A and B are shown apart, each in its own frame.
Chain A
Amino acid sequence: MKPALIKEIIKGIFTKPVTIQYPKEQTVIEPDFRGRQYADLKKCIGCSLCAVECPANAITMVKIPDEYVVPKTNARRIYPVINYFKCVFCYRCVTVCPTSAYLVTNDYRLASSIPIDSSTLSLSTITGAGDER
């Protein structure tokens, strides 16, 4: 019987700390990590299936502002807005989408003091009045 970790502890004193100094040094994550996802409005048909299937009720269907040019397939002019504070990142919306309209990223940095949702990212996929100028 003896203190078993002594050697390891002495070795640990002279090696670099394991802790990552997060904001200065980014955490290494996989390219296919389930991060922030948003709908590509060129493909979205406004069927609301993702909003129905979302286990966290994080998706609401919202009217696309009038100045945006919407594909003819989306006759009702609605698109899904994901509330990232509610979203659990299960990607059920991504897998049930009948037109595979969701774009996925591995962005995991979601800390924010104001509510964040996917509207800006989604609307940037189609041309609006702002872009034509």
Chain B
Amino acid sequence: MVEATHMIEIPITVEIPVGPQHPALHEPLLLKLYADGERVIKVDVITGYNHRGVEKLAEKNSFYRDIFIVGRVCGICNAVHANCYVRALEYMLGIDPPPRAKYLRVLAMELERMHSHMLILAVTAELAGYETLFMYLMKDREYVMKAKEILTGQRVLADYMMVGGVRRDVDETKISRILDMVKRVEERVKYYHKAFQEDITINRRLRDAGRIKHAEVLAHSLVGPVARGSGVKTDVRAQDKYDAYGEIPFNVITEDYGDSYARAMVRFGELYESINMVKHILTHLPQGNPVPDEKKLPRRFPVDESYATVEAPRGELTYYVSSSGSDKPYRVKIRTPSLNNIVNSAFAYVDQMIADVPVILGSFDPCISCMERAIITNLKEGTRYQVPLKALGGVRK
């Protein structure tokens, strides 16, 4: 009789779909979790629920119509999308907008960064189970939305950028009203910053959730506040100094630890920087006419290609525009930060609790409508996919 020397235990994994309806934010994304007990051992990120074909649409429309179409790629960061595209067109045409227009562009983009960061901080609180903080933050976000309405004419979709400048000017009353709004927001942001630092719920849920190390950020090419939360000092505003960012003083905020809490703190730091920048812009606004006459802009574009990059609230956003000499672009390629941050970050969920998955996803600030212009095929396909036992070896001991 042969005695058994080994007992092979096969770990039982449970497949849990998180999403595609409302995984963390109200946007469609499927995180397929393989869990062993309460621990996540593998995550498949499955995208493609919101593909709208914006790049193809941009090829079918004229250069100027595209300014408004690319603004609708993402609702939250529409001004940065339009700014990036408009600057790509300006590089082709050799137009340099007047200084006042550059300052006003930065103003619109920083107001946008403020409301975007306030939104994701509020959602982070909600995902951690703290809905009261969510409600209060969203209440005070209304001040920023109002400031954006005063500046651009609409609360969300700014449609503010135009080749050679911006589409409307500000007067003294508007400047003082925006300043007033921003000062009120600053007070409230200080209060919420303190609440995030002191509150027991937030600290227990966010600390150590989804920690990403410095080297992992570089290996997976993560961008934006996610990278800065792990101590990688990357910011296109400081590196490229587009528009008026070269003249406006600001700091690049970084945190070292790299967990969800560090990412929230980076966003708070950037909120303060944005508030200071808005104040600086409104008090140092150059004179001149920032509004170009849209009737006199060139209709045709030279045979050329150009590439522009911008720091969106979620990270580096790039546009590549190619012109074949007609009134329509030959190709518009958009690369958004969420594509990097969400598709490449599946490793961050491994060995975390199932309950922490929404918090970690929330801390990446996903913008699904932004990222889903690309078809991702290199992910593991097919819903019947079984995890081979080999793959489990070494993960769970």
Per-position binary interface string of chain B over residues 130-152, scored 1 when its CB falls under 8 Å from any chain A CB and 0 otherwise:
00110010010000000001100
Number of B residues near A (Cβ < 8 Å) is: 32
Q: What separation, in Å, do the CA atoms of A4 and B137 have in the docked complex?
A: 14
Closest to B149 in A: A30
Q: What separation, in Å, do the CA atoms of A4 and B125 have in the docked complex?
A: 13
Is B390 interfacial (CB-CB < 8 Å)? Answer: no
Q: Give which listed residue, B67, B153, B203, contacts A1 with CB less than 8 A.
A: B203
Q: Give which listed residue, B67, B133, B159, B201, contacts A91 with CB less than 8 A.
A: B159
Q: Give which listed residue, A1, A3, A9, A96, contacts B295 with CB less than 8 A.
A: A96
Q: Give which listed residue, A4, A56, A88, A96, contacts B199 with CB less than 8 A.
A: A4
Is B64 interfacial (CB-CB < 8 Å)? Answer: yes
Per-position binary interface string of chain A over residues 35-55, scored 1 when its CB falls under 8 Å from any chain B CB and 0 otherwise:
000000000000000000111
Residues of A73-100 whose CB lies within 8 A of B = 88-92, 95-96, 98
Closest to A106 in B: B153
List, in ascending order, chain A residues with CB within 8 A of B157's CB: 88-90
Q: Give which listed residue, B68, B150, B153, B201, contacts A92 with CB less than 8 A.
A: B68
Secondary structure type dominating chain A contacts: loop
- B144 CB to closest chain A CB (Å) equals 15
- A47 CB to closest chain B CB (Å) equals 11
Is A114 interfacial (CB-CB < 8 Å)? Answer: no
Q: Give which listed residue, A1, A54, A90, contacts B200 with CB less than 8 A.
A: A1
Is B65 interfacial (CB-CB < 8 Å)? Answer: yes
Is A32 interfacial (CB-CB < 8 Å)? Answer: yes
Q: Give which listed residue, B68, B167, B201, contacts A55 with CB less than 8 A.
A: B68
List, in ascending order, chain A residues with CB within 8 A of B194's CB: 4
List, in ascending order, chain A residues with CB within 8 A of B381's CB: none
- B138 CB to closest chain A CB (Å) equals 10
List, in ascending order, chain A residues with CB within 8 A of B61's CB: 55
Q: Give which listed residue, A33, A34, A55, contacts B69 with CB less than 8 A.
A: A55
- B253 CB to closest chain A CB (Å) equals 22
List, in ascending order, chain B residues with CB within 8 A of A5's CB: 132-133, 136, 195, 199
Closest to A96 in B: B294
- A28 CB to closest chain B CB (Å) equals 9
| CB-CB under 8 A for A9 and B132, given A30-B149, A33-B149 | yes
Residues of B222-253 whose CB lies within 8 A of A = none
Is A18 interfacial (CB-CB < 8 Å)? Answer: yes
- Which 7 A-B pairs have CB atoms at the shortest separation, nearest pair first? A4-B195, A55-B68, A4-B199, A55-B65, A90-B159, A34-B153, A1-B200
Please name 4 further chain A to chain B contacts, defined as beta carbons within 8 Å, in addition to the given A5-B132, A5-B199, sorted by A numbering.
A2-B199, A30-B150, A33-B154, A95-B294
Q: What are 18 pairs between A and B in contact, CB < 8 Å? A: A1-B199, A2-B199, A3-B199, A5-B136, A5-B195, A18-B139, A30-B149, A33-B154, A34-B154, A55-B65, A55-B68, A88-B72, A89-B154, A90-B157, A90-B159, A92-B64, A96-B294, A96-B295
